[in-house]
A and B are shown apart, each in its own frame.
Chain A
Amino acid sequence: MNKFKLFSLNWWILHILALTFFVFLGHAIHF
């Protein structure tokens, strides 16, 4: 997982994508 070293460019890209995904997931799911 050296590609995703803490605060590297890849780390930031991955976290922004993940954040976007979970924001949309929370928005989309209503029971």
Chain B
Amino acid sequence: MTIRTYVKSTLLLALIAVSLGGLMLHLRIHPVSKNTSNFLPLLSGILSVIIVPLLFSSKKTISYGYVLNGFQVIVGTIAMAHFSVMNWPLPSSLESIVIKTTLPDIMVLWTKFFIGKALFDLELFGYDSGRHKVGLSYRYPNTGWWLVHFTAVSTVYVLSNWLWR
């Protein structure tokens, strides 16, 4: 086994483990049997555990895995933040914001993003330790591109939530 295969397998296992954890947490917090809209996190969880790691494992499909993985994190962050805003802990304090909102869940979700980023970057740019990171930050597949998309998706989500009820 090459070190490339070894690191890739480790990261894929990390991706599956964190996704499986998220899926199981969602099943515990809001089972589909109680509300059909809970189907969305279930579907997203199944995509994360099976489809995304499969897309990441082949060089041909890794870009699709990378994009799908990142957008799942963006949608999850927006939906969970929306939930916390609507169920804001009162009285507000630093402690209640840290403990009683979905901030911890959002932080855990972002590990999924960074595992995906590491998988993609290692596959695309290789394992050369002396290689420099180049390219414009706001262009695909760099982090700035994700920031642009995170802002755009948040704006569209918030506007349609407010204006189209």
Contacts and interface: CB of A to CB of B under 8 A. Distances in A.
Interface of A: 1, 19, 22-31
A23 B87 contact: no
B36 to A, nearest CB: 11
Interface in B136-165: 140-141, 153, 156-161, 164-165
B101 interface: no
A29 B63 contact: no
A31 B157 contact: no
Q: Main SS of chain A's interface residues? A: helix
A31 B87 contact: yes
B106 interface: no
Interface stretch (B9-17, B46-54, B78-86, B91-99): B78-86
Given A1-B63, A31-B82, A25 B75 contact: yes
Contacts of B79: 29
Given A1-B63, A1-B140, A22-B153, A27 B164 contact: yes
Contact of A26 (B83, B87, B141, B157): B157
- For the residues of B in contact with A, the DSSP-based class is helix
A1 to B, nearest CB: 5
A3 B164 CA distance: 33
5 contacts: A1-B63, A26-B160, A27-B164, A29-B37, A31-B83
A31 B156 contact: no
Contacts of B164: 23, 26-27
B58 to A, nearest CB: 15
Nearest to B140: A1
A29 B159 CA distance: 12
Nearest to A19: B156
